[in-house]
């Protein structure tokens, strides 16, 4: 057996392992995002807040000025308000575009999602752009920052 094929195989494996680890990490980020959506849909405040990283460097942001909530108490208050905006159990989401990555203990994901829910039994549909940054703390991925915004004008994006 020649040394070259063994070295080539080792080199190929070395380049594939980080890509595999990144894909595995991205899947973990998607799982946190899905857990967030499940808890959010059921108006489970404790379940949502367990997904956020502790401390005063954790933030949620909305579309406009003043829609910035820093720390658990502020974020919790924002979610109480969000829960009043739709009937529990009616939220359905699909994200036709998403992109994310993981590097060691930090991961991120961006997505454009279409939502359908109801408010006082009246159906609604809307789209949100979402970005989330997660940090791995004590072996578990936690949301460090989440930003969501809804389209207020014409589309000018070019997602690929």
Answer whether residue 157 is part of any domain.
Answer: no
Answer whether residue 67 is part of any domain.
Answer: yes
**Residue 134, φ and ψ in degrees, nearest 5:** -120, 150
- The CATH number given to whatever domain includes residue 76 is 3.10.450.50
Answer whether residue 158 is part of any domain.
Answer: no
Answer whether residue 58 is part of any domain.
Answer: yes
- What band does 26 get if pLDDT is binned at 50, 70 and 90? confident
Q: Kindly report, residue by residue over 47-80, the tens digit of the pLDDT.
A: 999 999 999 999 999 998 899 999 999 999 999 9
Are 126 and 90 within 8 A, CB to CB? no
Question: What domain range is 130 assigned to?
Answer: 3-150
Answer whether residue 159 is part of any domain.
Answer: no
Answer whether residue 160 is part of any domain.
Answer: no
- Cα 74 to Cα 32, 84, 89, 90, 135: the distances in Å are 21, 16, 24, 25, 20
Share of the chain above pLDDT 90, in %: 73
Number of domains the chain is built from = 1
The pLDDT score that the predictor gives to residue 23 is: 57
pTM of the model: 0.80
Q: Kindly report, residue by residue over 110-144, the tens digit of the pLDDT.
A: 999 999 999 999 999 999 999 999 999 999 999 99
- Cα 81 to Cα 75, 134, 154: the distances in Å are 10, 23, 27
């Amino acid at each position: 057996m020649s040394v070259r094929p063994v070295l080539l195989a080792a080199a190929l494996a070395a380049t594939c392992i980080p890509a595999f680890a990144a894909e595995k990490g991205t899947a973990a980020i998607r799982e946190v995002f899905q857990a967030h959506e499940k808890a959010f849909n059921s108006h489970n405040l404790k379940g949502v807040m367990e997904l956020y990283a502790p401390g005063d460097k954790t933030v949620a942001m909305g579309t406009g000025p003043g829609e910035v909530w820093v720390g658990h108490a502020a974020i919790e208050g924002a979610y109480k308000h969000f829960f009043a905006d739709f009937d529990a159990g009616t939220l359905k989401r699909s994200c036709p575009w998403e992109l994310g990555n993981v590097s060691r203990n930090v991961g991120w994901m961006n997505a454009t999602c279409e939502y359908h829910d109801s408010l006082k039994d009246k159906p609604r549909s809307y789209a949100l752009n979402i970005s989330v940054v997660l940090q791995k703390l004590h072996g578990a991925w936690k949301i460090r920052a989440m930003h969501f915004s809804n389209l207020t004008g014409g589309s000018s994006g070019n997602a690929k």
